[in-house]
Amino acid sequence: MTTAPVLDRRACDRARLARDARFDGRFFTGVLTTRVYCRPTCPVRPARSRNVVFFPTAAAAERAGFRPCLRCRPETAPGTPAWRGAAATVSRALRLIERGGLDDGKTVGDLADALGMTARHLRRLFARHAGASPTAVATTRRVQRAKALLDGTDLPMSAVAFGAGFGSVRRFNAAFRAVYRRSPTTVRHARRRRARLR
């Protein structure tokens, strides 16, 4: 069984404490005490070094049970660098996922067929290079697109769901709540309250 890329803990911790923008998107920090994961540039007071773990991708952090930070918004991190330099096949798969290659109704088998390999082999490549399954990566991307739509538009929830690639509002609500531990409506209302206070 293959594992995700190994991150240099000390280098990640230095970058996180310095809020070094050069590392933004290269890794994500999981805070053990809050179960939230952040970008290295998060403006929130940094957690103690002993209370953090590091992940190569947002999907890997979510798979480990962490939810995205509402302050630094991991869905806006530049690129998804854990797979920079990864196998060309994984890079192609990621581009297909970004274009909806695993949106509702499509399977990992369909994606693997498009890449000329078995679903099992594709899952192994993702475990090695992304630290999460293709399905987890696709779900994370859909939820991130939905969060961007919630933050940047006043579209109705059904339009957000379908625009982000979900096949139904019910699936959208369930996936969003699983990641953020709150409903899309709650997140939108919080954004509007913050805007009024500015």
Which residues are part of the catalytic machinery?
38, 42, 69, 72
Can you tell me the distance from the alpha carbon of 113 to that of 128, in angstroms, rounded to the nearest whole number? 20
Cα 107 to Cα 136: distance, rounded to the nearest angstrom: 12
